[in-house]
Structure 1
Amino acid sequence: MTEEIHATPSTTPNIQTELAAQLAELMPEVIADGKVDVEKLMELLDGDVADTSERFGLFWPGKKRALRAAQEPTTATLRPDFENSKDWDHTKNVFIEGDNLEVLKILQKHYHAKIKMIYIDPPYNTGKDFVYPDNYKEGLDTYLEWTRQVNEEGKRLSTNADTEGRYHSNWLNMMYPRLKLARNLLTEDGVIFVSIDDTEVSLLRRLLDEVFGEGNFLGQFVWVTKNAARGVPPRTMLMSNHEYVIAYARRAGEVKFKGLERDAGDFGNPDSDPRGLWRSESMKATGAQNNYFTIADPKTGRTFHANWAFSEPSVKRMIEDGLVIFPDNDSGTPRQKKFIGSYLNDRKAFVTNLGWYSTENATKALMSLFGGKKVFDFPKPLDLLTFFVEQATIDDLVLDFFAGSGSLAHATMLQNAKDGGSRRYIQVQLPEPTPDGSAARNSGFRTIADLARERIRRAGSALVKEDASLSDATSNTDVGFRAYKLADTSFSKWKQSSDVELNQLEQHLLDLRESSSADDASADGLLSEILLKQGYSLIEQIAPVDVAGLNLRSVGDGVVLAYLNEHVKPTLEQLRAVVDEDPARLIVLEDAFQGDDQLKTNLAQLCKSKGIELWTA
């Protein structure tokens, strides 16, 4: 009956293995004894293979290890944090506390190709704000140790000073696996915006070229952070008062931005044209067109010879339609009428210079939410982020896995309130400790994640207070969020990796004799982990239900039913009653059978007769 029972996968997808499987589908001849025959692959690709002795690319110490960090599956999970959530039952927003590398792996199953826009403001590698493990080991163990969930001593952190021999390499090793995983989450028409300063902008461009492809580069936008100080001579020739936002697409040809509103201030109607407001624009060609011919004013007979932007038949039709304005003298040039309707519909896609966005005003806006206290340094301006949110999304999902103080979540709610959009966000933030003696720590915020959650709560409350319509149930503006925390798996049978030491493996096997799930794991925590590993989202509607005396969890109004009590063995009659509820999928904790294989087999037969998928964990 094993074919009738589906086992919940213990880890996130093994990306390396999946790539090999895709390669086997495309070119089965390169697979030999279950492995990729590299020589055969190179033979088939032939002229498409680069000369390994001379090739262009970005290389640095640790790059291969960084790639493996992205490919290594994780058994980690996300546990519901009801206490720190806001409006859990109704919100579609998510805030995750945890290391973003592990979280990005967890998100791969459900959120693959589902996120329209990613914005990140990663560490700028200034030599003091860049946190990285001193042993450069990525993974859940590092995160748990750093957050003191495992080792009371914690792990030492490096500030990556510029005297460090691998100053830039360390930063690239941190960014590379995260960007690789992030790309997988973007929709085909999705975009990523990355904030950066002069320190790493050149390397970031090359790194993004490698991850997303040069052809998917959309632009490197400059924004002014502050006005230069007057009367103060700079120490160098240039004063840095700008930062960058680099934009790449999953597929550049699929991207469509909303476009910029056009300035209609110079339109008028001096001749009372019934077609409405208009302005005049040059008719001369600006490029290499070869449209030299003469046109004549039908009223005065004056002629004008030039290289025109339109063909001779087109100009003739424009004159007949009254769309050409002729000058009063021979020295002038005919111009075309451009009516405001067609002008406003002709929207530009984007700009290369974003102008000035005040970081000082961003700080003041955040301080206003916290009673005038400066609880966070250098938050991004909300109007800068709402600009990106407005341009790239409307009813879509946005992600920030370097959430900081939660600026993107705030901007998303603001833009939804402004244009009625129904955007949702996922925020990921490491529980980095706030500095001792800081305004944030003195205000009770132990970590940046604590601060970000409170910022989002207060920003949402402020929006509702400003606009009473937002509290109406029909409003699209969602000001709540579900909170989750990164944690180790609740299933002991999934915990060990292939490089576990022998004595640890022996103890692990002994532990399995007793139970496969942790005794302190809640039903909600277990179900959250199981659903994630089966490919469900973080916003599934879950409710407790009672069937024949069994306490179950219902997912999506009964589409999925889950029995997760290992201490109470259900009877066959009780399970029959559960099957009669006719869910599409039934999940039963393996330990709930308490070793009764006959009960498990009978349940499998019942599910098969009803067309129900039976899953165990």
Structure 2
Amino acid sequence: MKNIFDTVADLLLTNDKYKAEDGKLLKAVVYSDVMAMNETLLTLLLSNKDVKETFFKDVQGTLVFDKQKFAWFMESKEFLPDSYTSYTNKIGLTHNGNFISQTNDVVLDFPYKDCVLEGGQDKDDQKRSEIFYNETIASDEISRMLAPKVFTNAKRYTAVGEKDLTGELDPDTIQVKEETGITFNDDDNLIIKGNNLIALASLLKRYEGKVKCIYIDPPYNTKNDSFNYNDSFNHSTWLTFMKNRLELARKLLREDGTIFVQCDDNEQAYLKVLMDSIFGRNNFQAEIVWVLEGASGYKSLVNNYVRGHESILFYSKSNYFNFNKIYLPYSEKQIKRFSKLDDSGRRYKPITKTRRLYLDEAKGVPLTDVWTDIASFQTIVNSPERTGFDTQKPEKLIERIIETLTTTHDLVLDFHLGSGTTAAVAHKMGRRYIGVEQMDYIQDITVERLKKVLEGEQGGISKAQNWHGGGSFVYCELKEDANTLITTIQNATEDTIESVKASIYADERIVPYLTKQELADADKDFENLTLEEKKQALIKLVDKNKLYVNASDMDDESYHVSDDDKKFTNSFYKGV
């Protein structure tokens, strides 16, 4: 006999309006019609005796629809938890639900566009089923997920040295120090370990409207297994992943702020339209083509043109922003076209009568949107600047972006920090910066690189910026509530694993975020699994992304927030 969940689902799926192309139910479409008391929906629900008795009440001969009860029913985990999207399971350009063949206005639609995706970036996350939280149906879950979080393990790294008579730091005396129990200050640079969506939401509390320039080099969605992070999202999932983060990034920008997003041709066209919708088409400034100088597509043995460039999409938040124009030196061929300056010093005398070169052009060739003068690491294998990070970008590339759109002390943000190039360049250029990275290599690669910057390392742009060391940065992590539980699982024996499982299934901080299917999968043949398989099944249930501790719960003793963590977290949020 069918239960009420299956009965309602089967009934709704008889109407094509509520059914996606893959046969799943479009719950948000149903939800919208429930709120509007849509006549077609009510007629459909009344057509089934069980549904009618469950959701309609006879009041003096009149049937009254219990709208709130039906809404709660739809929000329950048991009712098709994977059917959260109101957008069709088809990607295309639409306006008001109609594809562009029917309209002149262009908006990018894709499955789960009306959802929030936490989006883990670890390669292990490729194996998990991502949960999409619909903005209407799951608003409570989204609010809790994006609430300000507790910070932990805060350290301030500083370079302390004596100055010689020239006023430069003596590299022989510089020491890197760590300080615990610290507070956060306005001038501090910041490196955060944690999910970047959740970190961005936490940063809003202190930095909304304060960031001058954002540069990110996100996953390209290439299914390239050589990357350390998960770079194999399907198309619509990648778009949702980017949309959620770019919307928060826009809020962090100053009114005269700008953003640069690097990508390749795999998603460039869709990313351009997505960013048009978030930042405004009028605020698109340029597509920078970075020529790689080497055959980047040779590994794939392509049958046509080998990709030789990457794109950097450049947007502003408004029409008001300052641009510091850059000039490149003339080539030998260009120099031969012009004679020396005339006596007035105001302009070059042209060799021919067809062209006159004015004073600003005496500085060199104005920089175009095609950058051919910055070599990629594909052709500089032994560069001392390299960290061993597969997708590392040259410091000179980031220097150019920061140089054109910021001045000293401006705030720069990179929430796909990777090996730390953006932070390293910003530090050497005297800009403040925030970097966010989720992967564990942040300790061994990113932080270690920045410590060397403090010490005055001479790689990358150091000589060009006359960099000799100094400054500081604060490192911290979003506090996870999963570490203790995961350790308990990993230390479990055959005698204790069942009790550990029971505690997880009873933990109200975990179970509300799990679907019925996830619990069933973990429970399936549990007793017949090996001990290691049991541990892995339980660890999968403990999704770290959902277990960051909210700052509002900081005084709850069950979260074990230390006094140092409270001190730092309070200083971060109350220093606004």
Shorter chain as normaliser: what TM range? 0.5 to 0.7
Paired position in structure 1 for 2:274: 207
Q: CA–CA distance in 2 between the matches of 1:500 and 1:223?
A: 42
Q: CA–CA distance in 2 between the matches of 1:60 and 1:204?
A: 12
Shift of 1:460: 3.4
Q: CA–CA distance in 1 between the matches of 2:379 and 2:476?
A: 27
* Contact 1:222–1:242 under 8 Å retained in 2: yes
Shift of 1:234: 6.6
Paired position in structure 2 for 1:160: 232
* Contact 2:193–2:438 under 8 Å retained in 1: yes
Paired position in structure 1 for 2:393: 380
1:485 to 477, 481, 484: 477
* Contact 1:397–1:424 under 8 Å retained in 2: yes
Indicate how the Cα distance of structure 1 residues 99 and 203 shifts in structure 2: closer, same or farther if over 3 A, else same.
Answer: same
> Amino acid of the residue matched to residue 419 of structure 2?
S
Paired position in structure 1 for 2:372: 355
Shift of 1:462: 3.9
1:120 to 216, 223, 245: 216
* Contact 2:294–2:378 under 8 Å retained in 1: no
Mapping of residues 538-553 of structure 1, within 5 Å: none
Q: TM-score, normalised by structure 1?
A: 0.50
Indicate how the Cα distance of structure 1 residues 76 and 515 shifts in structure 2: closer, same or farther if over 3 A, else same.
Answer: closer
Q: Deviations over 1:535-578 (max 9, x none)?
A: 53xxxxxxxxxxxxxxxxxxxxxxxxxxxxxxxxxxxxxxxxxx
Shift of 1:57: 1.2
* Contact 1:88–1:482 under 8 Å retained in 2: no
Mapping of residues 211-360 of structure 1, within 5 Å: 211-228=278-295, 235-251=302-318, 253-261=319-327, 263=329, 265=335, 273-276=342-345, 278-280=347-349, 338=357, 340=359, 343-344=361-362, 348=366, 351-360=368-377
Shift of 1:345: 7.8
* Contact 1:401–1:429 under 8 Å retained in 2: yes
Indicate how the Cα distance of structure 1 residues 364 and 234 shifts in structure 2: closer, same or farther if over 3 A, else same.
Answer: closer
Q: CA–CA distance in 1 between the matches of 2:448 and 2:230?
A: 28
* Contact 2:327–2:363 under 8 Å retained in 1: no
Paired position in structure 2 for 1:311: none
* Contact 1:189–1:254 under 8 Å retained in 2: yes
Mapping of residues 138-153 of structure 1, within 5 Å: none
Paired position in structure 2 for 1:103: 199
Q: Deviations over 1:210-268 (max 9, x none)?
A: 111111101111111233499999742201121111111111x2122110126475697
Q: CA–CA distance in 2 between the matches of 1:517 and 1:232?
A: 53
> Amino acid of the residue matched to residue 379 of structure 1?
Q
> Amino acid of the residue matched to residue 261 of structure 1?
Y
* Contact 2:257–2:316 under 8 Å retained in 1: yes
Mapping of residues 456-495 of structure 1, within 5 Å: 456-463=450-457, 478-488=470-480
Paired position in structure 2 for 1:431: 439
Q: TM-score, normalised by structure 2?
A: 0.54
Q: CA–CA distance in 2 between the matches of 1:359 and 1:100?
A: 26
* Contact 1:92–1:478 under 8 Å retained in 2: no
> What RMSD in Å do the two structures reach over aligned CA positions?
4.4
Aligned residue pairs, count: 361
Q: Secondary structure at the match of 2:401?
A: helix
Indicate how the Cα distance of structure 1 residues 130 and 190 shifts in structure 2: closer, same or farther if over 3 A, else same.
Answer: farther
Indicate how the Cα distance of structure 1 residues 520 and 455 shifts in structure 2: closer, same or farther if over 3 A, else same.
Answer: same
Indicate how the Cα distance of structure 1 residues 379 and 355 shifts in structure 2: closer, same or farther if over 3 A, else same.
Answer: same
> Amino acid of the residue matched to residue 183 of structure 1?
R
Shift of 1:88: 6.4
Q: CA–CA distance in 2 between the matches of 1:362 and 1:82?
A: 37
Shift of 1:200: 0.8
* 2:114 equivalent to 1:64: yes
2:190 to 94, 97, 104: 94
Q: Deviations over 1:373-406 (max 9, x none)?
A: x632131111111111111111211010000000
> Amino acid of the residue matched to residue 359 of structure 1?
S
* 2:255 equivalent to 1:188: yes
Q: Secondary structure at the match of 1:58?
A: strand
> Amino acid of the residue matched to residue 481 of structure 1?
F
Q: Deviations over 1:318-356 (max 9, x none)?
A: xxxxxxx9xxxxxxx86686554x5458995x5221114
Q: CA–CA distance in 2 between the matches of 1:535 and 1:230?
A: 48
Paired position in structure 1 for 2:147: 74
Q: CA–CA distance in 2 between the matches of 1:520 and 1:83?
A: 22
Q: CA–CA distance in 2 between the matches of 1:277 and 1:241?
A: 40
Indicate how the Cα distance of structure 1 residues 95 and 365 shifts in structure 2: closer, same or farther if over 3 A, else same.
Answer: farther
Indicate how the Cα distance of structure 1 residues 337 and 101 shifts in structure 2: closer, same or farther if over 3 A, else same.
Answer: closer
Indicate how the Cα distance of structure 1 residues 231 and 158 shifts in structure 2: closer, same or farther if over 3 A, else same.
Answer: closer
Q: Secondary structure at the match of 1:188?
A: strand
- Structure 1, gaps ≥5 residues long: 1-49, 133-156, 162-166, 282-324, 326-332, 417-421, 433-446, 472-476, 502-511, 537-617
* Contact 1:118–1:400 under 8 Å retained in 2: yes
* 2:411 equivalent to 1:400: no
Q: CA–CA distance in 2 between the matches of 1:497 and 1:190?
A: 39
Shift of 1:78: 1.9
* Contact 1:95–1:483 under 8 Å retained in 2: yes
Q: Deviations over 1:112-144 (max 9, x none)?
A: 111111000001111145999xxxxxxxxxxxx
* Contact 2:156–2:177 under 8 Å retained in 1: no
Q: CA–CA distance in 1 between the matches of 2:289 and 2:509?
A: 47
Paired position in structure 1 for 2:500: none
* Structure index of larger Rg: 1
Q: CA–CA distance in 1 between the matches of 2:285 and 2:378?
A: 28
Indicate how the Cα distance of structure 1 residues 130 and 169 shifts in structure 2: closer, same or farther if over 3 A, else same.
Answer: farther
Q: Secondary structure at the match of 2:377?
A: helix
Mapping of residues 416-427 of structure 1, within 5 Å: 416=429, 422-427=430-435
* Contact 1:87–1:482 under 8 Å retained in 2: no
Q: Deviations over 1:149-168 (max 9, x none)?
A: xxxxxxxx97637xxxxx20
Q: Deviations over 1:170-226 (max 9, x none)?
A: 111211111100011111111111110111111111111111111110111111123
Q: Secondary structure at the match of 2:108?
A: coil
Over the matched positions of the two proteins, sequence identity in percent amounts to: 26
